[in-house]
Chain A
Amino acid sequence: MQITNRKRIVALGVLVAVALSGCATAAPGGTAEGIDCKPSEGKVDLTFTSWIPGIEDVVDIWNKKNPDVQVTVQTGPNGNGGTYKNFFNQLSAGNAPDLGQIEYDALPNFRVQDGLENIASCANVSESKDQFIDWTWNQVTFNEDGAVYAVPQDTGPMALYYRKDLFEKAGIPVPTTWDEYQAAAVKIREEGGYITNFPQNDVNWFAGLVWQAGGQWFANDGDAWDVTLESPESTKVADYWQGLIADDLVSKVPAWTDEWNNAYNTGSDWTWISAVWGANSISSGAPDTAGDWAVAPMPQWNAGETAAGNWGGSSTAVLKGSKHPYEAAQFALWLNTDPEALTALNKGANLYPATKEGLKLPVLADGVEFYGDQKIYDVFAEAAAQTNPDFVWGPTMTQTYADVADGFGGVLGGTGTLGEALATGQEKTIAALNAAAIPVKE
């Protein structure tokens, strides 16, 4: 069953690649089944495209240790800012870099368009499975047998950032369930603040909440994609936030703007449910509140549960057409498992490792001053382990995000509901899949 599934997906990918490039010779001869992964002779030069600032310094560590495998860093804007588009252009022109940074939610798109090498047969790759946090491994294998399409790099486990001082002063207990969160929101509104804000454009944030609720937006049974933006869990999350918005319990300041920073800096917004990398966004956006914040696990749907969501994270993939997949795979493994590399990535770019060992890095063990010296990374390490491993992204996330964000914008402007936004997203996603000749389950 698994094998036929894989063949179908591959066939599908080839079909799409051909359709997109309009060139019948683009079908790769047999390489899609997993490559013959052997070391190359002589000195090898690899190119690696990543938008992580300071990645050059990390790669330099590798280059010094491996004089025969030299990696050149290429850079650009973040994935959806243009680099993914560039990858696809380069793949059709046949000059893609050996390695590329790809976020988890974009991987299926590259898989469907046959842009990734299957590096499962490269030494140490399949064996490294147990080093990685369970859910990340499923993201890079798509649950196919004998397949690994990328090496997980970082994750964004979610938790609740909250203004400890304000909660204590107002005598509000820190919410552990979503019901308590709503009750707290009412009290905070009475105090003149807002518990948080609802972001229009961070649809992947919303997906993280659905992820926590045990929901799925996509599934692939090998034959076709099942689009379930309106699944019961997804609808539950939408109805919950719709309630908060309708009762004016959350503010509407647009995320990542000055207004938004200001809302946190002046204490008018009290909490933020966000990923581990959000720690820096608060400390830089709200410098006047240093020492007043703390981190707690995400509120749960039922008391006593321990589920977390995830927001963001990327992988290092070997792109189709690489002449040195073996060396590329070894570099990707080193970059994302070696303690020295992980420490450098964390220091330079706040990346939170995707390996189980990486979560115990010394840099992640200390208390953080901004959060009252709380050891906040302990909370996130726990959340990483509590993330549902079966969540699947779809092949058209950019479009899905855009359409759902349009709907969310309408809700914040006073028309429609979040549930309706998801329904529209569902409809348009199916239309987009059909337009790309990707089979959809009816």
Chain B
Amino acid sequence: MSAARSTAPREKFASRTAAMVVMGISTLYFLVPIWWLFISSTKSRGDFASTAGLWFADFNFFENVSSLVSYNGGVYLQWMLNSVIYAGAGALLGTLFAAMCGYALAKYHFPGREIVFNVVLGGVLVPATALALPLFLIFSQFNATNSFWSVFLPSLVSPFGVYLARIFASASVPDELLEAARLDGAGEVRTFFSVSRRLMTPALVTIFLFQFVAIWNNFFLPLIMLRDQSLFPVTLGLYAWNSQVNQIPEIRTLVIVGAFLSIIPLIIAFLSLQRFWRGGLGAGSVK
């Protein structure tokens, strides 16, 4: 930092400009598809085919939304609700399990600790997609495919979350503090929830967000597991609709509006939680 301060202002200006340009381009790169999606979701079917993609034609957004939510008995709303439950509850519980597991691996000494941790770490390397088919065959044994649990249970597991929780717990939860809590008579569970959990909050928010996004975007597992469309998450439902566009062209508008609405919960989750996240990163850097 001090070196940067001492350089000539012009050089600083140039490097800042360069950085801004790079940032601007990547922002544009990421936002243009969302802009396109928004614009397209305001268009009627005729305008969609015949007008420019990046600017408004007649504003039909609310008509489109109302036909989306009424199509096929309002199944889209059901899908959204399903996604919120799969991702919300799944991420919450998944975060809790990851936090407890990572904390235990960081703070307790027991035989086989490193082996357990390495196995979990190995789990980070296995893509979720590769596990979908084995999971399907296992759930088939219990006649549990095509059920809420067949998607929900596998979503609770997050090896990456365990890894993150362990690293963060060893860095941010001092052993002395735990010692003090124990001396004051708090049990291990109470220590975890009242002391360690608070110290680990930034990591937990990160794990929650990662897990929320991972479950929300998880497409392959529901594709393999689910047949009953009242159980579909929104990603699978939209995909199923989209595969019909050639023969039922009316659906195209619904897919676009549906896709646009389906990113809103993710945006809300990020905006409302990033505060905690930033705090966490800051705390880490000062130490």
A77 lies within 8 A of B248 (CB): no
- How far, in Å, is A229 (CB) from chain B's closest CB? 24
A75 lies within 8 A of B145 (CB): no
A51 lies within 8 A of B49 (CB): no
Given A75-B227, A86-B223, A89-B136, are A53 and B49 neighbors across the interface (CB < 8 Å)? no
A95 lies within 8 A of B143 (CB): yes
**CB-nearest residue of chain B relative to A74?**
B227
Stretch of B81-89, B203-211, B238-246, B266-274 on the interface side: B238-246
Q: Which residues of chain B in 177-208 are interfacial with respect to chain A, using CB atoms and an 8 Å cutoff?
A: none
Task: Say yes or no for B114: interface residue by CB 8 A criterion.
Answer: no
CA of A86 to CA of B227, assembled, Å = 9
Task: Say yes or no for B11: interface residue by CB 8 A criterion.
Answer: no
Task: Return chain A residues, CB-CB under 8 Å to B240.
Answer: 51, 75-78, 81
Given A76-B223, A95-B140, A281-B246, are A53 and B72 neighbors across the interface (CB < 8 Å)? yes
Q: Which residues of chain A in 361-415 are interfacial with respect to chain B, using CB atoms and an 8 Å cutoff?
A: none
**CB-nearest residue of chain A relative to B48?**
A258
Encode contact with A along B217-229: 1 for CB under 8 Å, 0 otherwise. Answer: 0000001101111
Task: Return chain B residues, CB-CB under 8 Å to A256.
Answer: 245-246
A349 lies within 8 A of B224 (CB): no
- How far, in Å, is B286 (CB) from chain A's closest CB? 49
Task: Say yes or no for B164: interface residue by CB 8 A criterion.
Answer: no
Task: Return chain B residues, CB-CB under 8 Å to A93.
Answer: 136-137, 140, 145
Give the size range of A's interface with the partner: 35 or more
CA of A86 to CA of B137, assembled, Å = 11
**CB-nearest residue of chain A relative to B139?**
A93
- How far, in Å, is A97 (CB) from chain B's closest CB? 7
Task: Say yes or no for A54: interface residue by CB 8 A criterion.
Answer: yes
Task: Return chain B residues, CB-CB under 8 Å to A266.
Answer: 50
Q: Which residues of chain A in 66-81 are interfacial with respect to chain B, using CB atoms and an 8 Å cutoff?
A: 74-78, 81
**Contact partner of B227 among A76, A92, A277, CB < 8 A?**
A76
Task: Say yes or no for B41: interface residue by CB 8 A criterion.
Answer: no
Task: Return chain A residues, CB-CB under 8 Å to B133.
Answer: 89
Q: Which residues of chain B in 243-272 are interfacial with respect to chain A, using CB atoms and an 8 Å cutoff?
A: 243-252
- How far, in Å, is A190 (CB) from chain B's closest CB? 26
Task: Say yes or no for A173: interface residue by CB 8 A criterion.
Answer: no
Task: Return chain B residues, CB-CB under 8 Å to A76.
Answer: 223, 226-227, 236, 240
Task: Return chain B residues, CB-CB under 8 Å to A78.
Answer: 240, 243-244
B246 lies within 8 A of A86 (CB): no
**CB-nearest residue of chain A relative to B143?**
A95
Encode contact with A along B57-80: 1 for CB under 8 Å, 0 otherwise. Answer: 000000000000000100000000
Given A281-B249, A285-B49, A287-B49, are A75 and B140 neighbors across the interface (CB < 8 Å)? no
- How far, in Å, is A134 (CB) from chain B's closest CB? 24
The prevalent SS among residues of B at the interface is helix
Encode contact with B along A120-133: 1 for CB under 8 Å, 0 otherwise. Answer: 00000000000000
Task: Return chain B residues, CB-CB under 8 Å to A281.
Answer: 246-247, 249
Task: Say yes or no for B111: interface residue by CB 8 A criterion.
Answer: no
B146 lies within 8 A of A288 (CB): no
Task: Say yes or no for B53: interface residue by CB 8 A criterion.
Answer: yes
CA of A27 to CA of B146, assembled, Å = 26
Task: Say yes or no for A284: interface residue by CB 8 A criterion.
Answer: yes
B248 lies within 8 A of A280 (CB): yes
Given A53-B72, A74-B228, are A350 and B247 neighbors across the interface (CB < 8 Å)? yes
**CB-nearest residue of chain A relative to B146?**
A74
Encode contact with B along A285-297: 1 for CB under 8 Å, 0 otherwise. Answer: 1111000000000
- How far, in Å, is B106 (CB) from chain A's closest CB? 39
Task: Return chain B residues, CB-CB under 8 Å to A51.
Answer: 240, 243-244
CA of A262 to CA of B49, assembled, Å = 6
Q: Name the residue among A49, A81, A283 with the largest chain B CB count within 10 angstroms.
A: A81
Task: Say yes or no for A261: interface residue by CB 8 A criterion.
Answer: yes
**CB-nearest residue of chain A relative to B229?**
A75
- How far, in Å, is A268 (CB) from chain B's closest CB? 13
Task: Return chain B residues, CB-CB under 8 Å to A53.
Answer: 72, 241, 244, 248, 251
- How far, in Å, is A253 (CB) from chain B's closest CB? 13
Q: Name the residue among A53, A76, A280, A288 with the largest chain B CB count within 10 angstroms.
A: A76
A284 lies within 8 A of B140 (CB): no
Task: Say yes or no for A94: interface residue by CB 8 A criterion.
Answer: yes
Task: Say yes or no for A29: interface residue by CB 8 A criterion.
Answer: no
Task: Return chain A residues, CB-CB under 8 Å to B239.
Answer: 77, 81-82
Task: Say yes or no for B9: interface residue by CB 8 A criterion.
Answer: no
Task: Say yes or no for A417: interface residue by CB 8 A criterion.
Answer: no
**CB-nearest residue of chain A relative to B244?**
A53
Task: Say yes or no for B46: interface residue by CB 8 A criterion.
Answer: yes
CA of A94 to CA of B136, assembled, Å = 11
**CB-nearest residue of chain A relative to B47?**
A287
- How far, in Å, is B171 (CB) from chain A's closest CB? 43
Task: Return chain A residues, CB-CB under 8 Å to B248.
Answer: 53, 280, 349-350
Encode contact with A along B129-163: 1 for CB under 8 Å, 0 otherwise. Answer: 00001001100100101100000000000000000
Task: Say yes or no for A118: interface residue by CB 8 A criterion.
Answer: no
Q: Which residues of chain B in 97-135 are interfacial with respect to chain A, using CB atoms and an 8 Å cutoff?
A: 133
Task: Return chain A residues, CB-CB under 8 Å to B236.
Answer: 76-77
Task: Return chain B residues, CB-CB under 8 Å to A288.
Answer: 46, 50
Between-chain CB contacts (< 8 Å), 21 pairs: A74-B227, A76-B223, A76-B227, A78-B240, A78-B243, A78-B244, A82-B239, A90-B145, A93-B136, A93-B145, A95-B140, A95-B143, A258-B48, A281-B246, A281-B247, A283-B249, A284-B249, A285-B249, A287-B46, A349-B247, A350-B247
Task: Give the top 9 A-B pairs by smallest Cβ distance, nearest first.
Answer: A284-B249, A74-B227, A93-B140, A261-B49, A287-B46, A78-B243, A81-B243, A77-B243, A77-B240
Given contacts A77-B240, A89-B224, 4 further A-B contacts (CB under 8 A): A51-B244, A77-B242, A77-B243, A284-B45
| B interface list, Cβ under 8 A from A | 45-46, 48-50, 53, 72, 133, 136-137, 140, 143, 145-146, 223-224, 226-229, 236, 239-252
